[in-house]
Structure formats: structure tokens, C-alpha cells
Structure 1
Amino acid sequence: MIFINYLFLLIFILFSVAFITLFERKILGYIQDRKSVNKVGYTGLFQPFSDGIKLLLKESSMLNKFNFLLFLMAPLMNFFIIIMMYMLLPYDSLMDWFNLGILYFLSLLSLNVLSVILIGWSSNSSYSFLSSIRMVAQMISYEISLMFLLLSLMISSESFSLMMFMKVQKFIWLLSCYFVVSGLMFIIFLAESNRVPFDFIEGESELVSGFNIEYGSGYFTFIFVAEYLSILLMCYVFIMFFFSGNLLSFNFYLKLMMLVYLYMMIRGAFPRFRYDKLMMMAWKVFLPLTLGLFIFYFSIIMLMKI
């Protein structure tokens, strides 16, 4: 029964990715004061499916210097790691027994870097390899800060389970007590999703197209869908941490769409950050600040228990 529930969940999530891409293109069109997609179907409603079919019908080129096995497996690995992370969502009949959700989340986040390294290295392209090296440095920089932020949150729930976070917020959102933590975590989730202004692994002005430069057709589709699945997942997790709510309620999905809208607005409003400034911000600002916040919240909880 759990498998069937999870399968239906994944099917609808993959459908939602198609409409999120359309939603993003519409928002960017309004921000740039131009018409967005409006030809395929009513107001362009079927444009994502048209683009997907066109992309899948494209030819996928293979050069002699590719590491073929890794080149073919790396996009699938990237896609399935993101899919596995959706087991975190605590629906009543789906994985409600999963009480180590945060450890599972951090483990798969770290493992996802391996797929990006393989994508960059197996292509045997200088641009894609440089992009994957950037990804490793970037990941190490903000994952340490993310761990301290999650530890600060776990002090209040006294659990690794996301279900417990929702129970703790029955009467008041954690956002009211962890306002600074929520802001820092949102910035780190932006970087984790490789979104503007932290999309350094796809920096067109420096790395042409980044780690996926040699991919086309169905392989690129896996990478593209995995990126938007990651955005949706980060929004889910952020809302469960700070805004609570039942996953089967309308209010939860209203908050989710507002957060996705914020992601899209940031892409249209901000330029790309400079890479050295991100490193400086991660090590010299975020790390001391998150460590200080962890000590602060830990001290308060200990004083309350005396």
C-alpha cells in the first residue's frame, strides 16, 4: 500500500514540475514586461508538454572521449536521488514511521553532489569539469552552516522526525522564534537548488552551460526535471520547518505556491552573485552566525529545563 501511495505521489509531483516551469516563464514574462508563452493550448497551458516531447525527440550525441557508462548513469542517479528525498513527506499513510527524516535529508543532499561530479567528469569537457569542482566547494561551504541550523531547530522538537516538527507547531509557528534561522535557511536552500543568485554551476558567462553542457535529449531532461524537483522539495521542507500545516490541507499548498513564487521572483529580480563573494559569505558570515545561533538556542532550552 505504501508503494502504491508513493507511486501516485511521484506521478503527480512530476506533473506539477511541468506546470511550475510554465508558471516560471509566465512570471519572468511579466517581470520583463513582455508576453510569455501563449500559443500551445489555452494561454500556453500545454507548452511544457510540447517542449518536453520536442526535447525527447532530439538526437543525443556521443563523442569518443566520453566515459560512456558513467555518462549515461549520472543523470539517472541525479534524478533518483531527488526522487528518494520525496519519501520525507509525512503523509498519514506514507512513511509516517520514518523518524530519522532530517538525517536522511542531509545524507541524500551530500550524496547528490556525487552525481553532479560524475556528470561533469564523465563528459571529459573542461567546462563541465570546472563546474562540478565548483559544486563540491560550494556544497561543503554551506552544508556545514545548514547542519548547525537544523541542530538549532531540532533542539525545539527534540526529534529527527518531520512529523514532530508539525506537532510542535500546533499552536504557534516556529518562524516566530526562529526568524533569523529561517532567513539563513532560505538563502542556503536557494544555493542548494542552484538558483539565482547562486547558480554558479550553470554560469553561462563563465562555463557556457556548466556541468550539463554535453547532455541533450532524454539525458538533459532528467537533469532539468531533477532541478525543479529539488526546488519543490526545498519549498516543502522549508514550510514543514517553519509554517507547519497538514500536507492534505489547502493552506499548506497555498503557502507552498507562495514560496515557489518567491523563488521565481528572485530569479527575475537579482543578478548572479560573484563566486568568491559566496565563499566569503559562507565561511566568514554564515558559519560563525549559525554556530552562534545554535549555542544561543541550546542555552535557552537548557535554562528552561533547569
Structure 2
Amino acid sequence: MQISLNITETIQECLVSMMSESAAGYIAMVIIALIYLGIFSVAGLFLVLLERRVAAWFQLRIGPNRVGFQGLLQTMADALKLVSKELTGTDRADKFLYNLAPYFVIISALMALGLIPFTKEFQAFDINIGIFFLIAVSSIGVIGILLGGWASNNKFALIGAMRSGVQTISYELSVGLSLLTMILLTGSLQLSEIVELQKSGWLIVQGHIPAIIAFMIYMIAGTAETNRAPFDMVEAESELGAGFHTEYSGMKFAYFFLAEFINMFLIAAIATTVFFGAWLSPFGITESIPWLGVLWFLVKTLLLVFLMMWFRWTFPRLRVDQLLTLEWKYLLPINLVNIVVMAFIVWQNLIILI
């Protein structure tokens, strides 16, 4: 059920008055794609700057402070440098797959971003299988990593790619099961409906202890799925150089680099939507002031992004065996028990209502 007109339908309705419905549909999709590409780029640059600031804060350093006021334009300068760099590669690489790999990573992140409800109206793509679609699309990114590592014809890149495949497939189970725990509580996969159900209280409160456990597991598994420290065995610099993107340079390297930060934002945004009411204020509904809803969404999401950065600059890197032991011996069994407990709570609530 569509609760309200989202940004896609609003733009399409404006265009229908000037052209045919089919042409308006295509042009609306192009406009939405350009809007989200802009959001994608700006968010990526901001998150890179935030990462460097947070790292400096944890390490008692100053951080970027040369380009622009207080170093605010440092990431813009870095982006311009990457765009101007020569695209190098190796003669032994599989050229077609080597060039294709970065686009898998960047497109999967962009498709997932379209489902995120920044406000009630600012959501490009709202479908009744929203969470299922998010999990499916986010899984495509690992194909790009595997292709990049294999097609580079470099042993360090291949080892990094294989580690990524094992790590992503393992931790996707915990991400999916933790979200499934909340789906049991809401009875819906549609993100807009999940947000509507939180007008009487965030799901992390409504779901009691199982919801808190699901959130904790989701954040740990989400951090691992984005290949960030302390789960960055994919890019273990002391062992593999740059890992799967060792042979990439310039803009192709920037795609991998940018996708990592956007995926981190997506993990935090999904957690904000499912556990913390998305754009809903903790003090009441923000429907009357749309920009306030965006502000609340970004504040909650950036706090979770900061938490993921805190992980990176606090904990040491795990070994591969420790990484897989954490998932298969601890997170997965806890998740399965947690789902049963949540199902029991939902069943008890249904009995009380009857």
C-alpha cells in the first residue's frame, strides 16, 4: 500500500502535463537518477571528511586543515586529484571484467539508496518488498569485488577478493536474520509502513530486549559486511597491500573507495529506518515540517555512522578464523534464538488482542 506520493510520482505528475505519460515516466527516472547521483557524491565526500576528522580526534591529531576553511574542501581536492589521475592497469588483467567490476559496486549502492525513506515524500522507490529488495541488491556489490580481484590477475587482489566473498556471504546471514526479527514484529517488508508503525514508538522500544539484541547484531554484522575495521581482512594493508583493488587507480579506485562509505551510510540508514523511526522525531511526528524530518533522519543516521567509525579506531583487526568464528559460533546461533523469542512475544500480543 502506498501511503503518500513520493518524490518520483510527484515529478512524474508535473511532467505529465507537458508530455505523454510514457515519456514523462522515462524523464522522471532520469531526473531522479541525477538527484540521487548528486546525493551519492556529496554524501560520499562528506563521509570521507568525517572519517578523517573522527580518526584525528581518536588519535589526538588535527586532521585535514589546509584546503578550505578548517579543511572542509580537502575531500573535494582529493576527488579532483583522483579524476585527473591516469587509469593504470596490468597487461595480464582481463580487461573487460577489470573495467566492469567497479560499476557493480557503485550501482548496487546507488540502487539501495533509492529505497531509503529520508522523509514521507522523499523516497524514490517504495515497494512492498523493500527490505527483501535491499538485502538482494546489497548482495550484488560483492560480485564487483570478486570480479575486480580475479580479473586483476594479482595474487594479493585475488586473496582479498576471496576473503570478501567468504566474509560477505557469512555476515549477510546475521544482517538478514536481525532484520527478519523486526519484520516479525511489524508484519511488513515495506519501509514506509514500518515507519508508520513507529508513530507510537520506535521499534527498538516496542520490541523490548529481542529488538535491542537484533540491533546490536545488525550493527556488528553490518560493519563486517562493509569490510570495515575491525573486519577489514579484505584490505589488510600489512598483508595484501590494498587488497582486491590493488591494481586500480584514478576514478576506478575512487568508485570502490566511495562505495565503501556509501554502504556504511546505507547500513546506518537501514538501522535508523527499522529500529529508530527514520524521519520521525522522538518528541512527536514531524509530518508538518518536511525538512525537520530529513534533519532527524540524518542526525540519527550520522550517529550510527559515528558508531561504526568508533569501531574502526578502537578495536584491532581480527584474524580470518576469529572473523568466521564470531559469525558462525556466536552471532548466528544468538540470532536464531532471538527470532524464536520475538515470535513468542508477537504470538503473546496477538492472544492478548484476541
TM-score (norm 1): 0.95
Select between 2-11 and 213-222 the one with higher mean Cα deviation: 2-11
Q: Match for 1:234 among 261, 264, 267?
A: 267
Select between 7-16 and 79-88 the one with higher mean Cα deviation: 7-16
For the pair 1:51 / 2:78, whether they are aligned, the reply is yes
Aligned to 2:322: 277
| 1:46 to 1:279, Cα distance in 2 relative to 1, 3 A | same
Write out the 4+ residue segments of structure 1 that deviate beyond 3 Å after TM superposition: 93-97
| 1:228 to 1:96, Cα distance in 2 relative to 1, 3 A | closer
RMSD: 1.6
Confirm or deny: 8 A CA contact 2:36 2:114 kept in the other structure. no
Q: Match for 1:187 among 216, 220, 224?
A: 220
For the pair 1:9 / 2:2, whether they are aligned, the reply is no
**SS at structure 1 position matched to 2:313:** helix
Amino acid at match of 1:101: G
TM-score (norm 2): 0.83
Aligned to 2:203: 174
Aligned to 1:136: 165
Amino acid at match of 2:57: Y
Aligned to 1:262: 307
Q: Match for 1:18 among 18, 21, 45?
A: 45
Select between 12-21 and 63-72 the one with higher mean Cα deviation: 12-21
Select between 91-100 and 205-214 the one with higher mean Cα deviation: 91-100
For CA contacts below 8 A with separation 6 or more, give which structure has more relative contact order. Answer: 1
Select between 83-92 and 282-291 the one with higher mean Cα deviation: 83-92
Q: Percent identity?
A: 31
Following superposition of structure 1 onto structure 2, how do residues 26-65 of structure 1 map, counting pairs within 5 Å?
26-65=53-92
Following superposition of structure 1 onto structure 2, how do residues 287-298 of structure 1 map, counting pairs within 5 Å?
287-298=332-343
Flag the structure with larger Rg.
2
Deviation at 1:266, TM superposition (A): 2.0
Deviation at 1:154, TM superposition (A): 0.6
Number of paired residues? Answer: 306
Q: Match for 1:147 among 176, 190, 195?
A: 176
Deviation at 1:5, TM superposition (A): 3.8
Select between 219-228 and 255-264 the one with higher mean Cα deviation: 255-264
Confirm or deny: 8 A CA contact 1:5 1:94 kept in the other structure. no
Q: Deviations over 1:147-173 (max 9, x none)?
A: 222221111111111112111211211
Q: Match for 2:95 among 53, 64, 68?
A: 68
Deviation at 1:96, TM superposition (A): 5.7
Amino acid at match of 1:132: A
Deviation at 1:261, TM superposition (A): 1.7
Extract unaligned runs of 5+ from structure 1.
none
Deviation at 1:93, TM superposition (A): 5.3
